[in-house]
Amino acid sequence: MNARALTSQVLLGIAPIALLIGLWQAIDSLGYAPLSLLPPPGLVFARLVQQLFTGAFQQEIGVTLLRLFAGFSIAVILGVGIGLAAAASPSVNALVRPIVRVLAPLPKVALYPALLLLLGFGHASKVTLVAADALFPILLSTYYGASMVEQKLVWSAMAAGTPPRQVLFKVVLPAAVPSILTGCRIGLVISCIVVFLAEMITSSDGLGHLLVTAARTFQAVDMFVPLITISLLGLILNALLQAVRSYLLRGFPEV
Amino acid sequence: MKLLPLRSDIPAESTPRRGLAPAMIEIDRVSQIFQTSGRQKHLALSEISLTIEDGAFVSILGPSGCGKSTLLYIVGGFVSPTGGVATMKGKPITGPGPDRGPVFQEFALFPWKSVLGNVMYGPRQQGVKPAQAEAQSRALIEMVGLKGFEDFYPKELSGGMKQRVALARTLAYHPAVLLMDEPFGALDAHTRTRLQNDLLNIWERDRKTVLFVTHSVEEAVFLSDKVVVMTRSPGRIKEIVDIDLPRPRRRAELLLDPHYQKYVVDIEHMIDDTSEDELRP
Amino acid sequence: MISARAILSRSASLLACLGLLGIWQIGALILNTESFPTALEALRAIPSILGDKEALINILASLRRMAVGFALALVVSIPLGLMMGRSRAIASFFNPLLMIIYPVPKAALMPIIMLWLGVGDIAKTLVIFLGVSLPVIYHSFQGARAVEEKMLWSGAAMGLSALQRMIRIVLPAALPEILTGCRTGLVLALITMITSEMIARQSGAGNILFNALDMGQYDTVFAMIIIVGAMGIGLDAAFENLRGRLVRWSEPRFDIPLSFS
């Protein structure tokens, strides 16, 4: 893509965001909203930048990120493991399928009170909730990716001397990676959302907790800051995942 | 019965001979019934009996749906026949193995591996040390005409190049038998003729046994020692034609050779007959 | 003569439910803490919840808000998504905006929205509306984009105007994808509803849950979980049924699978 096309694409991308911020500022400047309810964007971003350099705020980000990664990692390990097993073994499939069909549409956040009772109000309950929510998209993507691997790939590997029990790891898993990564992307977004929400519902630390605390003291600016932070975190993590995806899938044709 | 052409002595180059016993494929009254969705049974192959001698280039020719690919998959051990048995060197075929190497129409290259990675896969599976496997693979990649492309990924290659990689990948684990399932079917005509020539050149080096499935009469006659003509589904062997044309075969000469032309016309007639059998009430 | 196998496969989901309840029962008995009632105790608490007039009103109000938010979202999002799918300009305009909003947990906007709009139904319905809109827009967009150009050319040749082509060709062709988006939206509607009620704590099912938690009525907590779970499963099953009937002709696509089909 040449430079001019690229710049016009970037401009086109920034335009709506700039428009939104402009609208935001306009509402405030024209007095359509009281400043105590909708603080001007300049103020919010200034506060955001200020907070980012504060040790306490950084710690809160750290706590949220920690729970996010822990939950997401568990979801990936379990999801890929179970998904592969279900694709490879009909008996595992028969066991897993109905359980997933029952649990998948269930709003896992409804389990949160139960988790709080069982695991306490600290990290464990939140990490478990994140893992439970992120698990299903990853599991299902892995399962479908693994079960739709091209038959001839498996045959080629077997003819080359791969024993049947190794085929799962040498052929099916690598071939399913595009699908797995798609599931991981969804799982990552869900993890961001769920960790924030869990911290909002009940927590003593973390970004979600900051928002709720600010709400109770009617500090509008301090409410926007954690919200924007989690959104930015989500975007950054997503971009990182995309980078990993580009590297891992460098041999695969574009889908 | 025409005599098969004598095999000239060609020194084995990078491919060691696997024993001196003939790689005989014996297909004995093999049938295949498929269960289609909806409990219907479809007889794909009916009582196929065929002997394939060591070092022979045999084409299986027939209209679409006659089960020729299925027959190949049975020999490859990818599919179990519902009736009859296929054996190799006297031992029944129970599964895939490096003694029967496939080359598929869809290439089936591993997209997460480079060209070199794909070719090295077989030797590494056999336990060959990485350095040696790499050296062997590079030699093979050069032999199929892709020197310089070792680090490319399959998605960056054209169809013809992908098929060359697929061929190199299979040759890398030294199968005694090559199973080729319409390997040039997905390629344009020009690439197809180039690859046909290259295949023969490569084959001439060590004269492996080849089982080659195609629906192109010209391709079958050009490449093979024997052409097995099959009927429409349910597939049966209509006729086996020995191709007594001298090797090495040059396309330009052969196209003008009346013997070649007669083979093509005769076999095309046979195929027309099988089609007409269906249309007649 | 129905084989045992057929019976087993058809009742698999039911068996799974019973199995999970069984594991719960055993686990609770083993742990034997007051805060973890057994499955039976929780099940026994359900009738008292459903019998309590106030609780019932709360739950129905939740469902109502969900339905309204969902319907509004569909009315706005499907046309928007379809238009984005067919017009590059519209797509380029909205895309980055949506990508920014996507990772923001809509339920997290509850306090802010409450600050602006008070604690009534509007705030909660708005949050549900936002939550459902995004997947529906995305899937409508994808579905419209995938419609074959040639189908539209045929329509134009037959004399259909742009609007007619949109309604009579693009919409039906994109319908399978749109319905996938709706299914995601339905799941999100339920989640957003519960979560916003847990955060805002005024009324509704989520509120009942946390009130019971605060008051130590653990049976009620778990009973509500079962009720909400049943709602989720029931709504999903009903939707799948509807979807199957509406798009019997389509082939399944698995790019963002929600469950085993």
Domain holding C198: CATH number?
1.10.3720.10
Q: Residue holding tokens 């709602």?
A: C231
CB-nearest to A174 from B77, B102, B112 is B112
Structural domain total, chain A: 1
Residue A255, domain member (yes or no): no
Q: Which residues of chain A have pLDDT under 50?
A: none
Residue C166, domain member (yes or no): yes
In chain B, where the domains are located: 25-99+176-279, 110-174
Please give the structure tokens belonging to residue C66. 């969900």
Q: Between residues 93 and 152 of chain A, which touch chain B (CB distance below 8 Å)? A: 150, 152
Alpha carbons within 13 A on the beta-carbon side of B263: 26
**What is the tens place of the pLDDT at every residue in C217-228?**
888 888 888 888
Given this model, what pLDDT does residue B148 score? 93
Given this model, what pLDDT does residue B161 score? 94
Please give, rounded to a whole number of angstroms, the shortest distance from the CA of C250 to a CA of chain A: 18
Which residue would you say has higher pLDDT here, B124 or C51? B124
> What's C103's DSSP letter?
T
Contact assessment for residue A254 and residue A209, using Cβ atoms and an 8 Å cutoff = no
Residue A31, domain member (yes or no): no
- C166 pLDDT exceeds 50? yes
Residues in chain C, total: 261
Contact assessment for residue A174 and residue B139, using Cβ atoms and an 8 Å cutoff = no
Taking an 8 Å cut-off on Cβ atoms, the answer to whether A189 and C115 are in contact is no
Taking an 8 Å cut-off on Cβ atoms, the answer to whether C13 and A101 are in contact is yes
Contact assessment for residue A228 and residue C105, using Cβ atoms and an 8 Å cutoff = no
For chain A, say whether C112 makes contact (Cβ under 8 Å): yes
Reading phi first (left if > 0) and then psi (alpha if -120 to 50, else beta), residue C102 is in alpha
Instruction: Count CB neighbours of B90 within 10 A.
Output: 8
Burial of B269 (0-12, 13-18, 19+ CB in 10 A): exposed
Architecture of domain B25-99+176-279: 3-Layer(aba) Sandwich (3.40)
Burial of B181 (0-12, 13-18, 19+ CB in 10 A): buried
Taking an 8 Å cut-off on Cβ atoms, the answer to whether B155 and A252 are in contact is yes
Given this model, what pLDDT does residue B23 score? 54
Please give the structure tokens belonging to residue B206. 């060590």
Given this model, what pLDDT does residue C188 score? 82
Please give, rounded to a whole number of angstroms, the shortest distance from the CA of A247 to a CA of chain C: 21
Taking an 8 Å cut-off on Cβ atoms, the answer to whether A107 and C232 are in contact is yes
**Largest CA-CA distance found in chain C, in angstroms, rounded:** 73
Given this model, what pLDDT does residue C160 score? 83
Write out the residue range of the structural domain in which residue C187 sits. 38-246
Helix (H) or strand (E) holding C26: helix C12-31
- Distance from CA of residue B84 to its chain's centroid? 22
Question: From the CB coordinates, do chains B and C have 3 or more pairs under 8 Å?
Answer: no
Given this model, what pLDDT does residue B13 score? 37
Taking an 8 Å cut-off on Cβ atoms, the answer to whether A160 and B154 are in contact is no
Instruction: Count CB neighbours of C247 within 10 A.
Output: 17
Contact assessment for residue B146 and residue B164, using Cβ atoms and an 8 Å cutoff = yes
* AA letter at C24: W
Q: How far apart are CA A227 and CA C104, in angstroms?
A: 7
Q: What is the pLDDT along chain B (281 residues), one digit of tens a residue?
A: 333 333 443 333 333 434 444 557 888 888 888 877 777 888 888 888 888 988 999 999 988 777 889 999 999 999 999 988 899 988 899 999 999 999 999 999 999 999 999 999 999 998 999 999 999 999 999 999 999 999 999 999 999 999 999 999 999 999 999 999 999 988 999 999 999 999 999 999 888 999 999 989 999 999 999 999 998 878 888 889 999 998 888 888 899 999 999 999 999 988 877 555 555 55
Residues on chain B touching A162 (C-beta within 8 angstroms): 125
Contact assessment for residue B71 and residue B180, using Cβ atoms and an 8 Å cutoff = no
Which of A152, A171, A252 has the highest number of chain B CBs within 10 A, making it the mutation to test binding with B? A152
* AA letter at B229: V
Which residue would you say has higher pLDDT here, B200 or C40? B200
Residue A92, domain member (yes or no): yes
Instruction: Count CB neighbours of B62 within 10 A.
Output: 28
CA angle C63, C123, A222 (to 5 degrees): 135
Complex-level ipTM: 0.84
A·B CB contacts under 8 A: 75
Characterize A21-48 residue by residue with b for buried, 16 or more Cβ atoms within 10 angstroms of its Cβ, and e for exposed: eeebeeebeeeeeeeeebbbbeebeebb
Average pLDDT over residues C121-125: 83
Write out the residue range of the structural domain in which residue A141 sits. 64-201+229-248
Contact assessment for residue C127 and residue C204, using Cβ atoms and an 8 Å cutoff = no
Residues in chain A, total: 255
Contact assessment for residue B30 and residue B74, using Cβ atoms and an 8 Å cutoff = yes
Residue A125, domain member (yes or no): yes
Given this model, what pLDDT does residue C77 score? 92
CA trace torsion B140, B143, B147, B153 (10° rounding) = -50
Can you tell me whether residue B101 is helix, strand or coil? strand
Alpha carbons within 13 A on the beta-carbon side of C66: 26
Residue from C122, C92, C125 nearest C106 by CA: C125
Mean pLDDT of chain C: 81
Please give, rounded to a whole number of angstroms, the shortest distance from the CA of A248 to a CA of chain B: 8
For chain A, say whether B201 makes contact (Cβ under 8 Å): no
Q: Residue holding tokens 């653990």?
A: C218
CB-nearest to A107 from C13, C191, C254 is C191
Given this model, what pLDDT does residue B31 score? 85
